[in-house]
Structure 1
Amino acid sequence: MIKRLEEMPAGVLGLQAIDDVEEEDYRNVIVPAVEEAVAAHGKVRVVFVLGPEFEEYEAGAVWEDVKLGVRRPTAFERMAIVTDARWARPAVKVFSVLWPGQARTFPLADLEAAKQWAADGAA
């Protein structure tokens, strides 16, 4: 499940993964939120929290993630991944070469720093 985070800086979309992330989460939460942000700001800046409740991305969700990136290849300006999962930092480093924007990982304890980094330079 994906839920939107409240209390985000202006121009920053906050999302949190809880339990399993499924294809429906993209259709019902992520895609509409990204489209709304792009319509309002032209780009999207994201803080994506993978907390201790996060378990996995299901195959359909992974495919929806790929499709979203293909539909909006230049829309993602900054993405802060906030998690204590050890696999996240190397994964973001590898996949960030495919993203046109900037991506960075933060530990869960640094959520506020992640929000500020995502917002820096936003119009």
Structure 2
Amino acid sequence: MSLETHDIQVQTWADGKVVEVSICGKLTQEDCETFTAIIDEGVEKFGQIRLLFDCVGFDGWTLDGLLGDTKFGLQHYRAIFRLAVVGDKAWEKAFATFCKPFTKADVQYFDIADIELARAWLKEGT
């Protein structure tokens, strides 16, 4: 499945067990609702999913987007088995480290040049 709205693209693999979210620009509440609905489908089906956030082009949050993203994190604390954060800036690497206390997921940062390694890591054992 593939879905694109505003500045976000969402793709799934392994029958929905792996979800990739690419964000460009500022994340809005509507964007959060878009990817949350797809992630929830995978969680309902499998119990946990594997998630890749491609942050290249990500420019932060709108206020409602920050609230939506925080709500997502609280509601999905145990729902993510592995989280790959892909980026090309130092703050994105720091963001991956910042996420660790807010999830039970195994969190790893990958440089954009290594996005295929990130995808392979997520798919291991699916």
Task: Tell me by how many angstroms 1:62 deviates.
Answer: 1.5
TM-score (norm 2): 0.85
Q: Give the alignment partner of residue 47 of structure 1, picking from 40, 52, 55.
A: 52
RMSD of aligned residue pairs (Cα, Å): 1.6
Matched, 1:117 2:121: yes
Task: Tell me by how many angstroms 1:66 deviates.
Answer: 1.4
Matched, 1:103 2:104: no
User: Which structure 2 segments of 5+ residues have no match?
Assistant: 1-6
> Does the 8 Å contact 1:9/1:115 carry over to 2?
no
Task: Tell me by how many angstroms 1:41 deviates.
Answer: 1.3
Deviations 1:69-122 (A, max 9, x none): 222321011110110011122222133122111111101111110001112223
More helix by share: 2
The one of the two structures with greater contact order (alpha-carbon pairs below 8 A, sep at least 6) is: 1
> Does the 8 Å contact 2:77/2:102 carry over to 1?
no
Matched, 1:18 2:11: no
Residues of 1 paired with 2:108 and 2:14: CA distance? 17
> Does the 8 Å contact 1:74/1:101 carry over to 2?
yes
> Does the 8 Å contact 1:9/1:116 carry over to 2?
no
Q: Give the alignment partner of residue 42 of structure 2, picking from 37, 44, 58.
A: 37
The one-letter code of the counterpart of 2:119 is: K
> Does the 8 Å contact 1:38/1:44 carry over to 2?
yes
For residue 4 of structure 1, give the secondary structure of its aligned residue in structure 2: strand
The one-letter code of the counterpart of 2:38 is: A
Count of matched residue positions in the alignment of Structure 1 and Structure 2: 119
Q: Please identify, of 104-113 and 86-95, the stretch whose mean Cα deviation from structure 2 is larger.
A: 86-95
Residues of 1 paired with 2:97 and 2:26: CA distance? 23
Deviations 1:19-40 (A, max 9, x none): 121111112x111111111022
Deviations 1:4-51 (A, max 9, x none): 136x45521011001121111112x11111111102211011111012
For residue 14 of structure 1, give the secondary structure of its aligned residue in structure 2: strand
Residues of 2 paired with 1:9 and 1:18: CA distance? 24
